[in-house]
Amino acid sequence: MPAFSRQEQHRMRQEREHLEAQKRKAERIQAHERRMRKQAEDAARAKADRARRHQERVADETRRRREKDARYPRSSSAQSNYAEYDYSYGAHNQQQFQHDSSTSATATRDAIRRYTAGLGRMNRVAVACDEQLSFTDIPWPTLYPICGTYGISKESVRHIVLSELLYPWKDRRGRLLAFLRYWHPDKFVGR
């Protein structure tokens, strides 16, 4: 075996250490690349899962809306809505409302009867199920049944809220306060 000088032995040891260091560095780089690849795959998988869950929620919400809409048929025009829709309390005669500026006591009495029956029904629905109430579940204090917010007017509500038939034992101010207390009891709590 040839005898190496100390310098050669030292140089060979340095080369060997250098090669081992390069090998360890290459292994670290490969391990880092594997971790980065795994993180990217995990992120892509998580993003796909979020997208899938979002699609499921949207589909579920759409299905729930369709089921709810099936209970309350709709039409494309407002006139046909009024013609088809009886507001669950009785038939609606829009022409009478448009042509008759002075409302009769019978119309007011019917509206109050419809309103109070609707309050009872709404309270039963609100207690019985955990679903959120829709526009059609709420009894609106209007002279005639309505299908949307465009049917609510100051005059129409005034006939019911301030009617002596709703709270016959109270004056005008008392009737208004009683109506407000029913819908907003928290506003009248003493401080």
Structural domain boundaries of the chain?
Answer: 75-188
Predicted TM-score (pTM) of the model is 0.42
DSSP characters over 99-145: H-SS--HHHHHHHHHHHHHHHHHHHHHHHH--SPP-GGGS----SS-
Average pLDDT over residues 69-76: 57
pLDDT band at 122 (very low <50, low <70, confident <90, very high): confident
For tokens 């340095």, the residue is 14
Residue 96's identity, in one-letter code, is Q
Cα–Cα dist 77/132, whole Å:
26
Give the pLDDT of residue 120. Answer: 84
Task: State the Cα–Cα distance between residues 116 and 112, nearest whole angstrom.
Answer: 6
* 92-96, 134-138, 176-180, 187-191: the lowest-pLDDT one: 92-96
